[in-house]
Each structure stands twice: as structure tokens, then as C-alpha cells.
């Protein structure tokens, strides 16, 4: 056998998802791309803002053929300074450039944080439904991933956290706005969780950290600001990326921001920078840093995502499918009346592709991405109606 025991297990466990995707590809080949309504991929499909092109044009105008060389592992100074200003504004407290590390997207960012803080066998908790990659990220660094059930409406349940936190718990990953649910955790619920953590920290040598995974912070459908965890808790890492708000997912650019009042700040920064180097990222891609620095205050047209979300929710309501209206992000996560895999199979008969909720830790739900145009979403209504007739 060519691969390690663990990687072999990963491949086998994900074989059902793969079969599903392969079936989707088969259908698209058979019926044509336009006939198959694909709601599976959370691929930010909006155009990058015009400032991205401008950044490239400017680079060419003043082109320096030595610009592509090595840089400090923490990233370019101009990028770190621009991100520090943005983070300070968004989080409501002053985060200096020295507390910012440029990373290969939020995925790279979460990995370097876990590498830095996790001792072998320590637990990392995250609310369920969850972004499934967290399991891998935690296991990459010899940690133990522990999903924590949220309430029926996907809001945080502090009691469930309390039951699972023990002296071996090192971190909690919070993803808000959430993939797959679109939930935004309220300030009150975070405050409750933080009180719990402060209590637990008293008995421990090392604190429990919060890793706030925020790539959807600016893909938000209501006027209120996504609550800042940094304002409430000093043991916080904010991790984010520009994949969604600038539609730069393929360029792998994000950051880690470390709370300015965290204990042992210098060693933590040293650890993060070392981890960025030794995990093989070395540094976040240079051109991506240059582009983002130029576009730091730009954004894709979020109102387009909002319109799609509104239409999708209207259709779900009309056909009688329960859902919690997303406050942000790229997904709707409705409750379906039968087993989620069966429901997705029925959808597929109608040439509609969706992901069963069990892939995110909650059965009887499905995930629908709003990364398709309005006319595609319009077409969903008749098809959903037919499926719902079958299951009633």
C-alpha cells in the first residue's frame, strides 16, 4: 500500500462524497452543464473588484524584476500594515502590524495557529454543524477534534461546551458567519462562552484559545456588525482570508491576527512565524499580498449574494421547507423532511446537486450554496416542489 494508514482512512471515509461528486460530473456530461443545477460548491463566483486589476496594472507600470524574491516569513511590511488597520477597525481594538502574519488563506492560517499552540492529544472544540476541514486541521497537529452541538437554530449552546471542556482542551474554533449554516454568533452568546473559558482557565497552566475563523465577516446580509471576539477575550487569534470578499480564492491569501494583550505574545509570534516556515508555506504568495494591499478596502458586490439568498429562502418557504435565514456567508442550510442522503438522491433525479447535512455534522439538513446565478435558483422551485410531493 502506497499511502499511510491515516491518509488511507481519510480517502475511504470521503469516498461517498467523491461518488456524489462523480455522479454530478456524470450528469453534467450527460445532460449539459446548464441543465444540471449545482448547489454544492461554495466557490465565490462574483467578479473580483476592479481594484484587483488596477493593482496588477500598477505593478506592471513600475515593474521591478526583483520583486518576486524571498521575504520575511511573516509577510511584506506593507501588507501587514494594511491588514493591521483593517483588523483594528473591524475588531474594535488596536492591533499593530507586528501582530499580523500573512498566510496562504485562512486554511493556512488555522494550520499555523494549531501547530503553534497544540500539544499532542489536546482537544479542539468547534460548534456543530461545522466546516469539515477542521477535523483534518486538528489531526494534522496531533490534536483531537471535538464537535459541540449547537441549538436547533445553530446558535451557540454554552452548556454543551461546558460538558466537553476539560483540562486537556486547548482551543475552540468559531466560524461566524458560519459555513454551512449562515448563523452569526451573537455578542451575548460569545460573552457567555468567554465567561466559561475564563472560569476554566483558572485551573489550568495554559489558557484555552479561541480561533475566530472569519472569512465571511464581510459577506453579511444585515446591517449589524459581526461581533468582535477580540473585544471580549484576550486569548484570541483572528484568522481570515480574502477569498470571499475579494473573490481571490485561488490566490491563497489570508492572515492571522493575534490579540495584542495575549500572554507570552513574543513567543507566540515566534511560533506562528516558525510554523508558517516549517509547514512549507514559507510565506504567503508575494503577488497576492501586493494585490490585497492595494484593494484592502474593496469588496465584491455582496448585494448579489444577498439577492440570491433572499430568492432561495423565498422558494424554500413556498415549497414548505424549514430553514433558518442566513445572516451571512455563502450557504443556506434547510431542514428536509426525510433522511438527507435520500433527499439529495431525489434532488439528483431532478438534476439538482446539493450536499447532505451529515457531511457537516447534522442529518436531515442539506447545504445549498448561493454561488449560482438567479435564473438557476429560479429553476429550483418546480424541482423542489416535485421532490416535496414525493416525500409527503
- Nearest approach in angstroms of CB 322 to its own copies is 30
Per the structure block, which three cell numbers stand in for 155? 446558535
State yes or no: residue 57 binds its own copies (CB under 8 A): yes
Q: Which stretch binds its own copies (CB under 8 A): 77-85, 86-94, 276-284, 322-330?
A: 276-284
Nearer to its own copies, 65 or 375 (CB): 65
- Interface residue with its own copies among 60, 62, 153, 389 (CB under 8 A) is 60
Name which of residues 178 to 217 contact its own copies (CB under 8 A).
205-206
- Interface residue with its own copies among 56, 196, 296, 302 (CB under 8 A) is 56
State yes or no: residue 30 binds its own copies (CB under 8 A): no
State yes or no: residue 173 binds its own copies (CB under 8 A): no
Per the structure block, which three cell numbers stand in for 149? 452541538
State yes or no: residue 73 binds its own copies (CB under 8 A): no
Distance CA 148, CA 179 (A): 15
State yes or no: residue 147 binds its own copies (CB under 8 A): no
- In three state form, how does the secondary structure of 335-366 look? ECCCCHHHHHHHHHHCCEECEEHHHHCCCCEE
- Interface residue with its own copies among 33, 202, 203, 280 (CB under 8 A) is 280
Nearer to its own copies, 156 or 292 (CB): 292
Nearer to its own copies, 60 or 389 (CB): 60
Nearest CA among 225, 260, 248 for reference residue 296: 248
- Please report which helix (H) or strand (E) contains residue 258, including its range: strand 254-258
Distance CA 200, CA 39 (A): 41
Based on DSSP, count helices (H) and strands (E) in the chain, helices before strands: 13, 12
- Nearest approach in angstroms of CB 316 to its own copies is 26
3-class DSSP state for residue 174? strand
3-class DSSP state for residue 175? strand
- Nearest approach in angstroms of CB 371 to its own copies is 10
Q: Which residues pair with 322 in a beta bridge?
A: 335
Q: Do the bridges between strand 355-356 and strand 366-369 make them parallel or antiparallel, or are there none, so unpaired?
A: antiparallel
Per the structure block, which three cell numbers stand in for 100? 499580523
Name which of residues 284 to 303 contact its own copies (CB under 8 A).
284-288
> Mask 234-273, x = binds its own copies (CB under 8 A)?
---------x--xxxxxxx---------xxxx-xx-xx--
State yes or no: residue 98 binds its own copies (CB under 8 A): no
- Nearest approach in angstroms of CB 153 to its own copies is 29
Per the structure block, which three cell numbers stand in for 65? 524584476
Instruction: Please give the C-alpha separations between residue 239 and each of 4, 33, 91, 113, 370, in angstroms, as whole numbers.
Output: 30, 35, 12, 9, 23
What residues have CB less than 8 Å from 63, skipping those under 6 apart? none
Nearer to its own copies, 14 or 151 (CB): 14
Nearer to its own copies, 132 or 164 (CB): 132
Nearer to its own copies, 281 or 360 (CB): 281
Name which of residues 103 to 142 contact its own copies (CB under 8 A).
104-105, 107-112, 115-119, 133, 136-137, 140, 142
- Nearest approach in angstroms of CB 263 to its own copies is 6
Name which of residues 337 to 376 contact its own copies (CB under 8 A).
none
**Contact predicate 359/17, CB 8 Å:** yes
Give the max Cα distance, the chain: 66
Q: List the end-to-end C-alpha distance of the chain, in Å, as a whole number.
A: 47
- Interface residue with its own copies among 25, 199, 278, 391 (CB under 8 A) is 278
State yes or no: residue 1 binds its own copies (CB under 8 A): yes
Amino acid at each position: 500500500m502506497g499511502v499511510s494508514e491515516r491518509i488511507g482512512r481519510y480517502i475511504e471515509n470521503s469516498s461517498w462524497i467523491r461518488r456524489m461528486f462523480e455522479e454530478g460530473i456524470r450528469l453534467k456530461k450527460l445532460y449539459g452543464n446548464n441543465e444540471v443545477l449545482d448547489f454544492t460548491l461554495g466557490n465565490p463566483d462574483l467578479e473580483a473588484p476592479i481594484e484587483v486589476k488596477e493593482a496588477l496594472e500598477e505593478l506592471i507600470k513600475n515593474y521591478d524584476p526583483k520583486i518576486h524574491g524571498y521575504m520575511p516569513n511573516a509577510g511584506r511590511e506593507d501588507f501587514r500594515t494594511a491588514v493591521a488597520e483593517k483588523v483594528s477597525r473591524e475588531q474594535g481594538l488596536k492591533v499593530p502590524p507586528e501582530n499580523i502574519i500573512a498566510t496562504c488563506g485562512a486554511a493556512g492560517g488555522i494550520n499555523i495557529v494549531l501547530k503553534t499552540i497544540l500539544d499532542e492529544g489536546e482537544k479542539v472544540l468547534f460548534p456543530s454543524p461545522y466546516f469539515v476541514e477542521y477535523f483534518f486541521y486538528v489531526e494534522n497537529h496531533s490534536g483531537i477534534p471535538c464537535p459541540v452541538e449547537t441549538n436547533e437554530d445553530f446558535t451557540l449552546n454554552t452548556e454543551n461546551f461546558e460538558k466537553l471542556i476539560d483540562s486537556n482542551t486547548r482551543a475552540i474554533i468559531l466560524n461566524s458567519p458560519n459555513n454551512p449554516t449562515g448563523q452569526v454568533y451573537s455578542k451575548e452568546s460569545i460573552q457567555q462562552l468567554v465567561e466559561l473559558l475564563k472560569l476554566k482557565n483558572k485551573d489550568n497552566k495554559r489558557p484555552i484559545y479561541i480561533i475566530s475563523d472569519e472569512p465571511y465577516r464581510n459577506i453579511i446580509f444585515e446591517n449589524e456588525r459581526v461581533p468582535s471576539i477580540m473585544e471580549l477575550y484576550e486569548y484570541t487569534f483572528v484568522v481570515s482570508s480574502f477569498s470571499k470578499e475579494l473573490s481571490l480564492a485561488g490566490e491563497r491569501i489570508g492572515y492571522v491576527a493575534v490579540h495584542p494583550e495575549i500572554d507570552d505574545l513574543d513567543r507566540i509570534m515566534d511560533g506562528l512565524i516558525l510554523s508558517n516556515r516549517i509547514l512549507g508555506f514559507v510565506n504567503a504568495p508575494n503577488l497576492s499580498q501586493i494585490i490585497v494591499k492595494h484593494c484592502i478596502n474593496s469588496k465584491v458586490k455582496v448585494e448579489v449574494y444577498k439577492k440570491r439568498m433572499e430568492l432561495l429562502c423565498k422558494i424554500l418557504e413556498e415549497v414548505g421547507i424549514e430553514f433558518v435565514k442566513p445572516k451571512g456567508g455563502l450557504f443556506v442550510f434547510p431542514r428536509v423532511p426525510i433522511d438527507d442522503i435520500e433527499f439529495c438522491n431525489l434532488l439528483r433525479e431532478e438534476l439538482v446537486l446539493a450536499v447532505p447535512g451529515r457531511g457537516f455534522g447534522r442529518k436531515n439538513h442539506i447545504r445549498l450554496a448561493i454561488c449560482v446565478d438567479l435564473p438557476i435558483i429560479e429553476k429550483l422551485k418546480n424541482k423542489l416542489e416535485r421532490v416535496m410531493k414525493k416525500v409527503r
